[in-house]
Amino acid sequence: MKTMGLSDLALVRPEKFPHKDATDMAVGAAGLLERAQVFSNLRSAVADCAYVVGSSARLRALPHNTTTPRELAPRLAREIQGRIAVLFGPERVGLSNADFELCHELVSVPADPRFRVLNLAAAVQILCYELRLADAPELRGAPAREPVDHNEMELFFQHLERVLVDIKFLNPRHPRQLMRRLKRLYARAAPDQNEMNILRGILAAIEGKGGAHG
C-alpha cells in the first residue's frame, strides 16, 4: 500500500494485531500498520464509505456488476466522490456472501480460469497499482498530446503536395492516390503542434533549397 501511495488501512477482526511478525515484514511501512483502524465487523468498517468494491476470484450468482482492476480504477478516480473501500477477505476463503451484500460491485483479477490461485498480497498489490496509475496519469507514460486541428492539417497537406510536386516526386496530373495514402499516414500519426512545426520546417527548408534544383 505504501509503495503505491495508499495509507488508509482498516482491519476487521484480525486474529493477531498488533503483531511483531507483521511489523518486521512491513520494513519501512510500520507506520502504516500503527495507524491502521481495527473494527469488530465489516459494516462498521465501511460505514462512512460512499462506494464499496469487493475483491473475489470466484464467480458468484449474486446480482453484482463484476469488473477488472484495469477497468475499475480509472472509473473510481473519475466518477466516485467520497471515501472508497476495496475489500479483501481472508486468503484461504476470501469474502463471504454476506460481505458481498455490502458491496456496490465486485472486482476480479483476470487470471487463467484453469488456475485462479492468487495470494492476498499479490491481489492487494495489483489493485493498489491500478489505483496508483488512475490517480497519477503522468505515470502511465508520455504526457497527454493534443493533435493539431483539421484546418492546420489541411494547410500542411497543401504545403506537402506543393513541395512533392516541386521535387518531382508527385505527378501533378495524378496526385490523388499518393496524397490519399499520405493523408491516412499522417492521420494515424496525429502530430501535435510541435511536431507539425518540425514537419512544416522541413518542407520550408526543401523549398528554400530550390526543391530538386537546389
- Write down the pLDDT at residue 214: 39
pTM (2 d.p.): 0.64
- Write down the pLDDT at residue 57: 74
- Write down the pLDDT at residue 13: 93
Per-chain mean pLDDT for the chain: 86
Residue 183 or 60, more confident: 183
| pLDDT(101) > 80 | yes
Q: Does the domain at residues 150-213 carry the CATH identifier 1.10.8.590?
A: yes
- Write down the pLDDT at residue 213: 44
Instruction: Specify the range with the lowest mean pLDDT, choosing from 30-44, 141-155, 176-190.
Output: 141-155
Cell numbers describing residue 90: 481472508
CA distances (Å), origin 177, targets 55, 72, 154, 184, 193: 54, 44, 16, 11, 26
Q: Is the dihedral of CA 12, 17, 22, 26 positive or negative?
A: positive
CATH 1.10.8.590 domain residues, the chain: 150-213
Superfamily covering domain 10-140: SPOUT methyltransferase, trefoil knot domain (3.40.1280.10)
